[in-house]
Structure 1
Amino acid sequence: MDLWVRFCRACPTCEGLLPIKDYNQRNILTVFGEIPVRFPRLMVCQKCNPACCFTFSPAADICKDRATPELLELSAKLGAKFSYREASDLLATFLPDQSARTFTTLRNRTLAMGKRIEEAERHQSWFENLNYPDRTQYELALVGDPAREFVFNVDTAHIPMLKRYGGRTFEAVVGHCGRGGRGDPPGPIFAFEGTHPRELRAMAALALKRQGYADQGEITVISDGAECLKCLTGMLPQPVNHILDWFHISMKIQPLVQLGATAPKHLLSFEGRMERIRWRLWNGQAGRALSLIATVRRDLSRDPVPSIWAHRADKLLETLQIYITRNKGSVVNYAERYRDGKRVSTAPAEASVNRLVAKRFVKKQQMRWSRTGAHYLLKVRASVLNGDLSDRTKYEAPKQPIPGNIARFISPTPPLLKVA
């Protein structure tokens, strides 16, 4: 602190010493307890800026939250993993001079860390100009090179909302952006509250930046067919290939296959037809699969003896038919992608939803959340799972050079520029 005060006292214009108005004392929280620090308040140089008369504190540049970064990161990690009360009790058990802190202090630290992560991401998107040019044609595919493909695995989750906000749940987007084939690491997690296209586009651009995208390579989006996620294909550098998740297709066929085991005697071919529908969808033949579904539904409607079994089978077939019809253009040859070692499902995103959202927001800790609190906590929890919490808040925007004849405290607008 003393070294920083000595540096701040030097006037950048006349190289003189800034006058000291008075001294204050601030208690800075650390992992080893509370440390009192005495620091001065400095005044603006009256020789260089005679019209300005205000003071500033150098201590605000070092400890804005009156706590060290190590304590803030530790509080954020515990707050992202446990409930705020439990994390506060755990922190007070192992660290000195933390027993008097309430759980609201730890909650504020955790949400402040999430806000810093969001601000760093916003500055990075703005200053690094992450708008990639669209490609006019596909590049030559390299056989046996799954790392050439950039794959987005995205899924949505529902978080309980506070009752006073007038709703039961709100959506959150969880996804991965990685390279490589089936079985390789899916890439870092990104998560945020809501499904706003601007936020979705910014997170996708940052994810491509972290994976080393340089206007080369294939881009693929795998989702469950939700409209809010299908619009992601229009926000990425074109062309982009959208694939319907095979896991969701299989989960809609599996109840029909199980229902075929209890089919009546005059419908013994029902189970075999379901297997043929699965095979056609697995090989990318969505049109033939839809025609077979229509045929099976027509045969069920002609059954002279209506039954509960036929009504149940018809409802499941109708759900599958609507799902495939709405996403017919996203059904690809999954067998070919599987043989090439490429991804065909959003299994990593499904697992991340369970780790990121279900255990902290829904299942283990049944709480209700505001949109802002859930958004910031998702940022922190994703950074903790990625292991880069300390790196996500260190981005600094490039500073514009300040002319030597103008003090660094003020930067007046030239008259001609003000008129313009």
Structure 2
Amino acid sequence: MKIAIVVQNLSFITGGPRLLLGLAKELMQMGDTVVVYTEDKVGDFFGELARGIIAKVVELPAPAGPRSGGFFGWISGKAREEFGDILWAKKVAAAMDPDFDVVNVHDFAYRVGYFYKKRSPKTKVVWQENQPLLFYVKRGKLLYDLIGPLYWWVKKFTDKKYFDAMDGISVLDELTKTQREARGFNNVRIVRAGVDFQKFYAPVKNFSPKAARKEAQLFALGALNFVRRFDNVVEAVRCLREWGYGVTATIVAKNIWHEDQCKEDLIALVKKYDLEQCVKLNFDGLSEADLIKTFHASDVFVQAAYAPPPSHQGWGLVNFEALAAGLALAVVRSSGATEVLEDGKTALFFDPLQPEQIAQKVKFLIDRPREYDRIAKSGQSYVKENQSWKRYATEMREFFLGK
């Protein structure tokens, strides 16, 4: 098959580009021709993964530019983004080869499928939705929380023609599937993402010496915004240290969306509790090599991300990379990852927005190092046996073929 994969942001250090590139690589190894279309270049972070993949850059006709501050700046910024996204989708569709069998549009690139089908009606269009995109996440600000839901409600009608062009939607978790079907979408299929197990792998460490000293190194990772709930991780460290545990944390939160207020709030929280020596904040991101080193130097990975209903934070590919790296995982119960993991067996679950529960889970592992060993090894075995890029690409290919 000849397959086009379309994404807006390929340089962002998030799970989406890793998923796309992992899929493209495996499809090519299966003999398919794959061309990636994007509005930006592959960043250095994913340079190794992208090697050998044809990626064509189609730049925005007129970059939206940074948003001005305040409520009205937010509204005008959203309007510019909408207009720019539509122009870009048209430009991409016009630039694409006319003979693709499948066009796989990722996340906010969904409009491209509609415009391409106007050229090639027989081409199959499959939308990869990595997490719910058509919901407003409450900000706790009155005007935003009044207008935001209205904006997404209007988009259900203005974007209907784009969604009607879809032949199928692939998602990562059951909740996203249920939400799509409730909105009238047909042919929605769950296809779980893969993991490069060997790249991240390290044997589960002997945690007993650290546990005897009542110590542990936590790790949290994700693009910076308020729904990542990195503040919950800081609060958990505070609790543990008050209980007499020498716990430290590394939080890598690359500020790709210019969430400067979120950044300042996190820095202030660390200072408030005098945790500057215990909590390391990194807003610049890590290279792939340094990311793997940080995984291997850590003991417990904490995923606290939470977006309130009707949205949710989605799958979290990084959870499974952490398990492959031999860490014990403490994950928020609302994560899509909990659909396949088991509480107390392959991970430890905690309720959203409950930093003391995070602290209790870490305390449990320190107090019971044999449980740490059992849970970390079970989680690692699950990933090795169930998640690979080859399996993911095979299932996606079957979906493309209508099997």
Structure number with greater CO (CA < 8 Å, separation at least 6) is 1
Task: Say yes or no: TM over 0.5.
Answer: no
TM-score normalised per structure 2:
0.24
- TM-score w.r.t. structure 1 length? 0.23
* Higher-Rg member (1/2): 1
